[in-house]
Chains A and B, each alone.
Chain A
Amino acid sequence: MNDFDSLCQHTMLVGAGLFALGMFGFLVRRNLIVMFLCVEMMLQGVSLTWIAAGAYHNQLDGQVMVILIIAVAACEAGLGLALVMMLYSRQGNLDILSWQSNREEGRASFVDHDIPESESTSDPVWPTLTPAGVAPEINQEDQLHRSHV
């Protein structure tokens, strides 16, 4: 077990970590685009493992496979994002829950129980300027109806 082999193995560990993280994110997140990003992260973990395995076995095939993976990922991103845009234009949000009417027959629908309250509950405080100078005369007729607007 020499230096370079241990480097290859530790790189494979990082690849496995990226794959597991991407899987966790895909299962946990509900935003369509973030789920898509998680899939890309799984692909990245696989690419890293390919590179490490190719270097371990002293061959260039791993790098060739990674080039093919990059091309497939580009196709996937183009098609998937076009689909996401179409889904967004139909529902108005990116939540995948709004597509749950497509679920398998006989499955109970998922209901949100803990919707977080919006963060800006109180009215925002706007900055004010200190009044200065002479107060202008106010024409009472202009207050009722504005002829020049």
Chain B
Amino acid sequence: MSEFSTFAVTSLLAATDFFANGWASLLAWKDQPAMWAVLGTMFLISGLWALQPGARGGWRVLGVLACLAGLGFCVRLLPELSGTIPVVVTFRLMASLALVSGLATVTAKNPVYSAMWFAVTLMGTAMMMLLLGGQFVAVATVAVYAGAIVVTFLFVLMLAQSSGRDPCDRLTWGKVPAWWAAPAAALLFVMICAGLHQESFPNRQEGAEVVSSGLIESGADHVQSAAASLPVANSVAQRFPESHVAQLGGQLFSRYLIPVQVVATLLLAALVGAVAIASYGTASGIEEQLS
């Protein structure tokens, strides 16, 4: 925590120096990671500012370029991505795919395009989940999110806005987003990046006892907690054993049994609620209210 506050104070000092003395003053900070944070924040703010709804074509291209540059500066805050070449290349491709299509989701003029770009974002995130050993979660994301939720969005869009053009897609709230939303989003992102900074990142906790005792307490000790008993590994295959999807199921129905039941009840309640909301105000409902 103290490192984080030191980092924030250094960044503030560097930013003040920049605004007081111009670009040349940043050279004095070039050994400090705070310089990357300041540069990243400025590029992200200007990029997001240029990408607000109603921006012209040239501004939008500039905005995407500025956002990518700011992202590149923020990546400098993290330890360098290392690993085998296929993993690194796949990760970089999928990360840029997810972020660029996320930008397109936010800025597309036609909401149908927004939904389609969001589906591309989901593909990128699902691929990154696969890289981190979450096979079941990746497939569930594609099946439930891209397969069901995005399609529901498209259904509603086609019902409500079949022409595809609406003036409100090219409008925003006057001057407010230009001066507040872009700095807020950029600062949030850079602050999280600073939290991921190498020196301030917390050490790995000993999770072995937590998982195994949780399983034994709930009476499912036949489910091996092999993920917890592994030593710190260097790759997905070493960190998660082959049977970790089975272990995921075991955890889901032993340690997390009550949350699963609660979520199941929530799904039922949402189903009933959606039917009640959708049928409220129709002809039969009005007749019932009048009689």
Chain A residues proximal to chain B, CB less than 8 Å: 1-14, 16-25, 27-31, 33-34, 36-38, 40-41, 44, 47-48, 51-52, 54-64, 66-68, 70-79, 81-86, 88-89, 93-97, 110, 112-116, 118-119
Contact = CB atoms under 8 A, between A and B. Distances in A.
Contact of B263 (A14, A71, A97): A71
B99 interface: yes
Interface stretch (B12-20, B22-30, B31-39, B203-211): B203-211
B139 to A, nearest CB: 11
Contacts of B114: 33-34, 37
Most buried by A among B95, B188, B192: B192
A1 B219 CA distance: 36
Interface in B63-87: 71, 74-75, 78-84, 87
22 contacts: A4-B233, A13-B196, A14-B125, A16-B196, A21-B185, A30-B168, A30-B171, A30-B173, A31-B111, A34-B114, A34-B169, A36-B153, A51-B128, A55-B240, A64-B255, A72-B266, A77-B149, A81-B156, A81-B274, A82-B275, A84-B160, A89-B281
| Interface SS of A by simple majority | helix
Contacts of A57: 204-205, 207
Interface of B: 48, 52-54, 71, 74-75, 78-84, 87, 91, 95, 98-99, 102-103, 105-106, 111, 114-115, 118, 121-122, 125, 128-129, 131-134, 136-137, 140-141, 144-145, 148-149, 152-153, 155-157, 159-161, 165-174, 177, 180-182, 184-186, 188-189, 192-193, 196, 198, 201, 204-205, 207, 210-211, 227-228, 230, 232-236, 239-240, 244, 247-248, 251-252, 255-256, 259-260, 263-264, 266-267, 269-271, 273-275, 277-278, 280-281
A117 B39 CA distance: 37
Contacts of A10: 75, 78, 81, 91, 95
Given A24-B185, A37-B118, A8 B132 contact: yes
Contacts, number: 313
| Interface SS of B by simple majority | helix
A72 B263 contact: yes
A51 B248 CA distance: 13
A79 B128 contact: no
A115 B248 CA distance: 52
A14 to B, nearest CB: 5
Contacts of A17: 71, 99, 102, 189
